[in-house]
């Protein structure tokens, strides 16, 4: 009697798999052989390609979110950032509010958190005094509370002021934030 009862090919987002149904003394069970994993074990992939593959897997985790899951993530993010905002209002002189922009098709790389001060002078003073470290800490805590893991959080932070928005965009924050999205990509 053969050890392999039957086999079939299965395709998925992660690649092609060959599924074998084996005959074993303990009963029937399925064994899945992933071609990519075999290549990694043999050493065909370089560590650079392996790291890229791992990054793609974490990106896929968010890209596979349904609209409902995206809405739930958005609510968690808003709740966590609201706590960060209220904490910062009490601690940082001149800080007014914060907002975020995200495109879930490009998430988490598309996430931008904008910390807004009342004046440009307040913003510059806060940054000169090292308050950017505190805002980074508050943002990191908020993202973790929302279940979002980003390695370089500082790259997702922007500091702005109401004064600059009035001067350059006539107070239109949607236009200003859209410009920041374009500049980031």
Per-residue pLDDT of 43-64, as tens digits, reads 444 445 545 544 444 445 555 7
Q: Is residue 183's pLDDT more than 70?
A: no
In this structure, the answer to whether residues 47 and 32 fall within a common structural domain is yes
Mean pLDDT value across the chain: 75
In this structure, the answer to whether residues 147 and 71 fall within a common structural domain is yes
Which of 124-133, 143-152, 175-184 has the least mean pLDDT?
Answer: 175-184
Q: List the domain range (segments joined by +) for residue 169.
A: 67-184
In this structure, the answer to whether residues 108 and 153 fall within a common structural domain is yes
C-alpha 149: how far from chain center: 6
CB atoms within 10 A of CB 174: 9
Looking at the DSSP bridge assignments, the partners of residue 20 are 7, 31
Q: Retrieve residue 103's tokens.
A: 């495109």
pLDDT band at 97 (very low <50, low <70, confident <90, very high): very high
C-alpha 112/C-alpha 177 separation (Å) is 9
In this structure, the answer to whether residues 145 and 111 fall within a common structural domain is yes
In this structure, the answer to whether residues 83 and 124 fall within a common structural domain is yes
Residue 96's pLDDT is 95
């Amino acid at each position: 009697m053969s050890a392999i009862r039957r086999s079939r090919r299965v395709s998925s987002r992660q690649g092609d798999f060959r599924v074998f149904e084996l005959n074993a003394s303990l009963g029937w069970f399925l064994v899945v052989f992933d071609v990519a994993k075999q290549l990694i074990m043999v050493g065909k992939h370089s560590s650079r390609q392996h790291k890229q593959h791992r990054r793609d897997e974490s990106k896929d985790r968010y890209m596979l979110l349904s609209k409902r899951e995206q809405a739930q993530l958005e609510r968690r993010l808003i709740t966590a950032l609201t706590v960060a905002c209220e904490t910062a209002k009490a601690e940082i002189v001149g800080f007014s509010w914060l907002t975020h922009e995200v495109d879930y098709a490009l998430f988490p790389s598309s996430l931008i958190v904008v910390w807004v001060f009342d004046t440009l002078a307040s913003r510059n003073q806060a940054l000169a005094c090292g308050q950017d470290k505190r805002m980074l800490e508050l943002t990191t805590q908020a993202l973790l509370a929302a279940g979002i893991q980003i390695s370089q959080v500082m790259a997702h932070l922007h500091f702005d002021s109401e004064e600059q928005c009035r001067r350059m965009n006539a107070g239109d924050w949607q236009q200003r934030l859209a410009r920041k999205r374009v500049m980031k990509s």
